[in-house]
Amino acid sequence: MALAPVAGPASTVDGFVRQFLRNLNYERGVPLSAASANDRYFAFAMTVRDYLMARWLEDLRRQRVAQVKGVCYLSAEYLLGRQLDNNLLASGLTSIATTAMAECGIDIEDLRAAEVEPGLGNGGLGRLAACFIDSLATMGVPNIGYGIRYEYGIFRQTFQDGQQIEQPDSWLTMGSPWEFPHPEAAQPVSFGGYTEHYDDEGTERSRWIPAWNVLAIPYNYMVPGYQNGRVNTLRLWSAEATNRFDLRVFNAGDYAEAVRSQTFAENISKVLYPEDSTPQGKELRLQQQYFFVAASIKDFFDHQLAPDFDLANLPDRVIFQLNDTHPVIGVPEFMRVLLDEKKLDWDEAWAITQQCFAYTCHTLLPEALEVWSVDLLGRLLPRHLEIIYRINDEFLDAVRERFGDDEMRLRNMSIISEFPERSVRMAFLATVAGAKVNGVAELHSQLLRDKVLPDFNEFYPGKFTNVTNGITPRRFIRLANPGLSDLITEAIGTGWLTDLERLRELEASAEDPLFREAFASVKAANKRHLNDVLLVRDGFTVSDGHMLDVMVKRLHEYKRQMLKVLHIVTQYESIISGRVAASDIQPRTFIFGAKAAPGYAMAKRIIHLINAVGSVVNDDPRVEGRLKVLFPPNYNVTLAERLIPAADLSEQISLAGKEASGTGNMKFALNGALTIGTDDGANVEIRRLVGDDNFFLFGMSEPEVEALWARGYKPADFYQGDESLRRAIDLIASGAFSGGDKSVFEPIVSNLLYDDRFMVLADYSTYIAAQEKVDAAYADQDAWTHAAILNVARSGFFSSDRSMRDYIDRIWHAQPLR
């Protein structure tokens, strides 16, 4: 029987209190008087959850019945952030819940604070996936997000003597009220073994005889739309050992190996790899990738697709969106299912596959493009390797037919590369298999077409497209910045949260002195709030009257945190050398947030230097407190939500052509920070929209970068030719930030001077000049506020709802389910 959508039991204050107490008593087994903070948080979260449940069940049912085209988003990472506040907002229960808790003598803030955020991602790519599923639910588009339920998410960062220490992020030790395990829907996932070829009544067929398998247990999470009664599903897989041995495993010969692998099965979903740019080629990572896509594809066939569904119509029923190359092994897996299990012939299966996948590329760094050695792939997934070889053979035949026997071109385009070892280029496989390939900002998509995959662009005209990234305004404006949200609603009414282009209407308000005053006081209140948070969290204070200059993102050389350090050291040096009076300096607090991959030595050294510069600058009386460097450890989504609304200046200073898009840049602009940035990634589009007067541009353009690199980049020339740069570098080299020990930061200095692919010194002088303009502009607070308001008003384009519309119209051809 169909379950009608019912108003949840918690839709009144009394109902909420009753349901909360019921959950406390019956689910947690405690009375209110004896409930711990975690008990209260759990019972509260469950009450919100209960309210959403009827809607969720109804959406699941309707999606099953309708069998309309749905989006399966395949992503190895989802950087969700805390769930409680978001789900409260989506339910529209915030004020009822707040009153209800007050009646129970509970401050709802304490409940919010009790939640440990699930950090199941590294950075931009994982956070983007979380924004996208929020938008799809809000737009009512049927979607399942598939991924991995890592037992340990991104490591917790602490500092010891200024150096990064990684600690395990055991986010599950207290349990999570948001997840629903479904062991009955477990999927076995196989590995290893060998393949057999046999004659099936005249057709040659293959089968895979695996050596070992694991069980993938799905955990479902609600993805509620914003106050629209819709709830989609995020399904994350957890690995468990199985003792359901396949008899064939015993016959495969290597019994001992099979048992050993079995014991290690649970390792597969144990930990998120904390690298986000240099693939290590680790076997466990390939196991993770195959594990989650194989389970997801099987889940789609077993549980989403009607049993009598005609497979020829699959392209009208599903699109698998590949979030970078991590899930690309799903392509040969999908082929294997169609060929070996559903008994389709090759051409039929391939035609379907090519319409059921699309690929998003998130990088331009060549070292970040994943390859898997043929040796490893053949051992772990022998049948998939065969399929990849055949895909490649047919693809190269088609290339030959079109371009003739151009050996060079064939070598360049082959999915299999021969050097330094024979391996599979996953981005090429995704490009050949995908109906569409997209980059994540205009500049990135253009470079992808013209520089990274030009042969493919020529071969597949129309396959390449751009979808500029976006962010969800629900989390990053409404929840993170309630003061600004209220101000916006006062000015332009409701509705903008799901139609962000409406922020344009604020342009008129920018001319209103009273509105500017109100806007400035929201910013000031956000700074005070940040101050409270940092004081409790880290013992830091943000001084009054300081400009808040923020650089938060993963630590990577291409993002150039070093350029920011050189700016700080330049200012510091000018004070201590007596050339500039401290009192003439615009007071600034510089805030960094950044995790370094544990194996990335240079990134860790840069973290050490930032902390070292901070200790010296913050304690030097000559600075008179006018410069302050803060580096709160363990930057994560929760901290971002506090930092971004308080920021005055957003640092987006990557070397042009290296940052695919950036999404932090969008969050800052939408919260009324001005950007200082290069012409890179989505900065290009932000500047075009907000206008040159409201953006501080500096640095080489991408073609200038290329030209300088081609001429030969000689950092020493910049060092010799710029006195202020020389002083800053010399000060670091002198040991001034390392207790006189010159060796500590010597590798950073010599990297900048002799071996820097990211050309920090080349952009130094224009960066410093732009920072001087920033100081001058900040001196006129009212004009600054005017520019900040225009940043908000003109950034509506960067809603992830718009990104989703673009994917829907140009890639997925899906529809909202009404």
Min CB(557)–ligand 26V separation in Å: 13
Q: Does 738 bind ligand 26V (CB under 6 A)?
A: no
Q: Does 442 bind ligand 26V (CB under 6 A)?
A: no
Q: Toward ligand 26V, which CB reaches closer, 128 or 314? A: 128
Torsion, Cα 689 556 431 142, to 10 degrees, reads -60
Three-class secondary structure of residue 588 per DSSP: strand
For the beta carbon of residue 743, count every other beta carbon within 10 angstroms: 8
Min CB(652)–ligand 26V separation in Å: 10
Which residue's CB comes closest to ligand 26V?
Answer: 124
Provide φ and ψ at 787, rounded to 5°: -65, -35
Q: 235-258 burial, b for 16+ CB within 10 Å, e for fewer?
A: bbbbbebbeeebeebeebeeeeeb
Three-class secondary structure of residue 187 per DSSP: strand
Q: Which residues contact 160 (CB under 8 A, 6 or more apart)?
A: none
Catalytic residue among 98, 431, 663, 678: 663
Say which DSSP state 724 is in: H
Min CB(120)–ligand 26V separation in Å: 12
Q: Does 151 bind ligand 26V (CB under 6 A)?
A: no
- Contact characters 283-322, ligand 26V, x per CB under 6 A: ----------------------------------------
Cα 778 versus chain centre, distance: 32
Q: Which residues contact 102 (CB under 8 A, 6 or more apart)?
A: 108
Q: Does 218 bind ligand 26V (CB under 6 A)?
A: no
**667 part of the active site:** yes
Q: d(Cα 491, Cα 74) in Å, to the nearest integer? A: 39
- Contact characters 634-663, ligand 26V, x per CB under 6 A: -------------------------xxxxx
259, 169 contact by CB (below 8 A): no
How many residues contact ligand 26V, by CB under 6 A?
A: 23
Q: Toward ligand 26V, which CB reaches closer, 75 or 262? A: 75
Candidates 27-35, 117-125, 395-403, 581-589 — which segment interacts with ligand 26V by CB under 6 A?
A: 117-125
Q: Does 763 bind ligand 26V (CB under 6 A)?
A: no
Q: Does 673 bind ligand 26V (CB under 6 A)?
A: no
Stretch (H or E) spanning 632? none
Q: Does 340 bind ligand 26V (CB under 6 A)?
A: no
Q: Are strands 179-181 and 464-466 parallel, antiparallel or unpaired?
A: unpaired
> Using the rule CB under 6 A, which residue among 145, 147, 681, 699 binds ligand 26V?
681
Query: What are the beta bridge partners of residue 199?
Result: 204
Site for ligand 26V in 691-710 (CB under 6 A): none
Q: d(Cα 162, Cα 618) in Å, to the nearest integer? A: 14
Q: Which residue has the tokens 């009955």?
A: 184
Q: Which residue has the tokens 């998120």?
A: 272
**173 part of the active site:** no
Site for ligand 26V in 348-367 (CB under 6 A): 362-363
> Using the rule CB under 6 A, which residue among 81, 118, 124, 470 binds ligand 26V?
124
Q: 320-351 burial, b for 16+ CB within 10 Å, e for fewer?
A: bbbbbbbbbbbbbbbbbbbbbeeebeeeebbe
Q: Toward ligand 26V, which CB reaches closer, 228 or 267? A: 267
**207 part of the active site:** no
Q: Toward ligand 26V, which CB reaches closer, 324 or 333? A: 324
Candidates 268-276, 312-320, 522-530, 645-653 — which segment interacts with ligand 26V by CB under 6 A?
A: 268-276
Catalytic residue among 55, 82, 362, 475: 362
**663 part of the active site:** yes
Q: Whose CA is closest to 120, among 160, 86, 83?
A: 83
Catalytic residue among 527, 546, 559, 564: 559
Rounded to a whole number of angstroms, the CA Rg of the chain reads 27
Q: Which residues bind ligand 26V (CB under 6 A)?
A: 122-125, 128, 273, 275-277, 279, 324, 362-363, 368, 370, 440, 469, 659-663, 681
| Residue positions annotated with a catalytic role | 362, 553-554, 559, 663, 667
